[in-house]
Structure 1
Amino acid sequence: MVESIANKITSFLISNKAIEEKESELYSYAFSILIAFLINISAILIIAYSLNLFKETILFLLCYCPIRQFTGGYHADNYKRCLLAFMLLYIVNICFVEFVFYYKLDYLILFEMIMSYIGICFLAPLEHRNNPLSKKELKIFKRVAVVLSSIVVFLVWIGIRYNNAYKFIYYVASSIICIFIMLIIGIIKQEFGGRV
């Protein structure tokens, strides 16, 4: 479905001479990625709205999405699996954060965040099999991933001091944990030849 829509958009642009036919593959791929991203984000926001966690989810996504672009990690084999994996990750994340919030287990989420941050610093970036990076790109991606993750960790340490911001801070902290989980799953998938 995603590829079909992307191909139709690309064909429309070619027929209106907005792009050249020799660029069709690139545009079709870019539109596929954009459409899949919009579907994923929309699904997560619908879940968040239905659970009355819209603001928390916006904060989570604002931290998660930019860092994830530079860390890499698990990538599903198709767009349906990608959507399902992201929704599953997010629902498990909600359960974890709500559990931590309900029982006031600050130390647990802070410990998990710090361990995940250290893991990101060591493991990122994890290359996608279809998009290998040069040595220069690997260094840049690592630097950006560490800087963005460091900013998030710093914001959590500042925000945890304010009682009225706890729940929001838990969701921000959980973004680092989720990114690390995606890195670990990506490494496992690579080790088992893409069968995970």
Structure 2
Amino acid sequence: MIKIITFLGKSISHFLCEKKVIAEQEVEVYQYGFEILISTTLGLLITVAIGIVLNMFFLSVLYYVVFVMVRQWTGGYHADSYLKCNITFAGITFFTLGMTKLSDMSEMYSLTIHGLMLVFALLSVWKYTPVENPNKPLTKEQKKRNHKVALIAIIILEALSCGLYVFFPKVSALIAYTLFSIAVLILISKNRKGGNEYE
């Protein structure tokens, strides 16, 4: 997987360089950008595919938007290869959408479970974000900004989730499970690094 993504990124970059669209010294930067773009597109395709299989197309797109939006501010677990990253993402996506569907089909989901997941997500974001990517270190100012934006995003999404609980329980549960999954990834990353609380 990583070889294919790298090959595509390199091929596109060199093609643009040959056509004089980008300078030769910018090839590596563009290659990295195209690799990220291809990987992100693959993530969306994985999400939509799982959504179609579970008959949850709209919710899968909503999940992807919430997941990507929040994760860009919180950070979290990062696999050491594109293949592991996509496998992990597919597992998280299947869990989130699957649990949302299961909750809608049964009576196992309750306001207590809903509340506990939201509290867990809020505390995790408040205490441990942002989680830095080793390849993208953050300055103190960036850490403060990301922490603040992540908290605001979580509070808004949790308020939205609570507001939708009665009239749109499936969407409400999806948001809660998505935030819960992000919080779990944050804690996994912190435990692996032996990280401290946000300062």
How many pairs does the alignment contain? 190
Contact 1:40–1:86 (8 Å) recurs in 2:
yes
Structure 1 CA distance, aligned partners of 2:113 and 2:173? 10
Say whether residues 1:115 and 2:120 are aligned partners: yes
* Structure 1 residues 49-64: aligned runs within 5 Å: 49-64=52-67
Residue matched to 1:128: 133
User: C-alpha displacement at 1:110, in angstroms?
Assistant: 2.3
Say whether residues 1:148 and 2:153 are aligned partners: yes
1:117-165 CA distances to partner (integer Å, 9 max, x unpaired)?
A: 1211111100011111000010111111111111101101111131xx1
User: C-alpha displacement at 1:100, in angstroms?
Assistant: 3.1
Letter in 2 for 1:5: L
Describe the SS at the equivalent of 1:17: coil
Residue matched to 1:18: 21
Contact 1:100–1:109 (8 Å) recurs in 2:
no
1:93–1:171 Cα change, 3 Å: same
Structure 1 CA distance, aligned partners of 2:123 and 2:93? 22
Structure 2 CA distance, aligned partners of 1:89 and 1:62? 14
User: C-alpha displacement at 1:191, in angstroms?
Assistant: 3.4
Residue of 6, 11, 16 corresponding to 1:8: 11
Contact 2:43–2:86 (8 Å) recurs in 1:
yes
Contact 2:47–2:64 (8 Å) recurs in 1:
no
Structure 2 CA distance, aligned partners of 1:174 and 1:66? 15
User: C-alpha displacement at 1:176, in angstroms?
Assistant: 0.9
Residue matched to 1:94: 97
Structure 2 CA distance, aligned partners of 1:44 and 1:131? 25
In structure 2, list runs of 5 or more residues that go unmatched: none
Describe the SS at the equivalent of 2:78: coil
* Structure 1 residues 75-94: aligned runs within 5 Å: 75-94=78-97
Structure 2 CA distance, aligned partners of 1:70 and 1:121? 12
Residue matched to 1:167: 170
CA RMSD of aligned residues (A): 1.5
Contact 1:100–1:106 (8 Å) recurs in 2:
no
Letter in 2 for 1:19: I
Letter in 2 for 1:156: S
- Larger RCO: 1 or 2 (CA < 8 Å, sep 6+): 1
User: C-alpha displacement at 1:81, in angstroms?
Assistant: 0.6
Structure 1 CA distance, aligned partners of 2:188 and 2:154? 19
Structure 1 CA distance, aligned partners of 2:97 and 2:65? 16
Structure 2 CA distance, aligned partners of 1:49 and 1:187? 33
Q: Percent of counterpart pairs with the same letter? A: 24
TM (norm. structure 2) is 0.90
Say whether residues 1:44 and 2:47 are aligned partners: yes
Say whether residues 1:66 and 2:69 are aligned partners: yes
